[in-house]
Amino acid sequence: MIIYDAAAGSKPFYDSAIEELRQIYPETQVQRLAPDHPIFHAYYDLDRMEYRSGVRAAGYADSSPWLDGVTINCRVVAVVSRWGLGIGWDGNTDDSLRAYTVDSARKLGVNLMAYATAQRAWTRQFAQSLKLVDREPTSAGKISVAQVAYDGEWKTWHKGVSILLQQFHLKTGVPVKFAVRELRLSDAMLFECPLVYMTGHEEFRLSPAETQKLGEFFA
């Protein structure tokens, strides 16, 4: 996990970090984390934060925490702090800076550490304990699932679908293909898929073309 800290709320740094993440993860949208995200409750409950007057002078009147993140397989791998964290960690009390107060910055820092270390331990252990692969490359005659890619946080935990396919195969004996195809609703291959799956954590919107194709799929 990487933390981008916009020192003293630097807008140029924040914008650059967001743009870099968009280029690194073009398939996954960089989104602001909702106040109920586990990061804000990993140790302290931080639905509301204390900001310095510099943040208010910059036009931010809300009290919600502001972290943007990239989520891969249900795990946040990168976060960008819009307002300064490090200057709070080191005890700087200059109220004119665009930053969290010392107490809020340190609590949010503890939450980030708690989330990153716990998630890393869990994902490493799980990745080593579960791996579902197709023994045969062909998919002829096998039930498969396609996951919908959209402009939002669509790339979550892929293994969930594979586990469902495994259970379906064990119960029914119907052959399945564990590899999950990723496609957009505008993809012509959509109509070759008997079952599509869409998931995510945050708000999403479909383009008019995608909405039309989804309607045609249902028809």
The tens digit of pLDDT for each residue in 59-83 reads: 999 999 999 998 887 788 899 999 9
Q: How many whole angstroms separate alpha carbon 177 and alpha carbon 162? A: 8
* Residues 158 and 119 reside in one and the same domain: no
Residue 134 lies in a domain: no
Output the CA angle 190-132-78, nearest 5 degrees.
75
* Residues 79 and 167 reside in one and the same domain: no
pLDDT at 146 over 60: yes
* Residues 108 and 47 reside in one and the same domain: yes
What is the pLDDT confidence band of residue 144, given thresholds at 50, 70 and 90?
confident
Residue 141 lies in a domain: no
Q: What is the CA radius of gyration of the chain?
A: 21
Residue 135 lies in a domain: no
pLDDT at 139 over 60: no
* Residues 6 and 112 reside in one and the same domain: yes
* Residues 25 and 107 reside in one and the same domain: yes
* Residues 189 and 120 reside in one and the same domain: no
Count: domains in the chain: 2
* Residues 122 and 159 reside in one and the same domain: no
Q: Which of 161, 143, 144 is nearest to 198 (CA)?
A: 161
pLDDT at 136 over 70: no
* Residues 123 and 155 reside in one and the same domain: no
Q: Which of 78, 80, 55 is nearest to 67 (CA)?
A: 80
Q: Which of 18, 23, 104 is nearest to 68 (CA)?
A: 18
* Residues 120 and 172 reside in one and the same domain: no
Residue range 155-201, pLDDT digits in tens: 766 667 777 778 778 878 888 887 778 889 888 888 888 788 887 76
Residue 115 lies in a domain: yes
Residue that finishes a domain, picked among 76, 99, 128? 128
* Residues 123 and 196 reside in one and the same domain: no
* Residues 22 and 114 reside in one and the same domain: yes
pLDDT at 49: 96
pLDDT at 46: 95
Q: How many whole angstroms separate alpha carbon 49 and alpha carbon 65? A: 6
Q: Which residue segment(s) compose the domain that 214 sits in?
A: 146-218
* Residues 108 and 150 reside in one and the same domain: no
Residue 123 lies in a domain: yes
Residue 137 lies in a domain: no
Q: List Cβ neighbours of 97 (8 Å cut-off, separation of 6 or more).
A: 8, 9, 52, 54, 84, 87
CA distances in angstroms from 123 to 21, 78, 100, 127, 128, listed in the order given: 21, 15, 30, 6, 8
Residue 133 lies in a domain: no
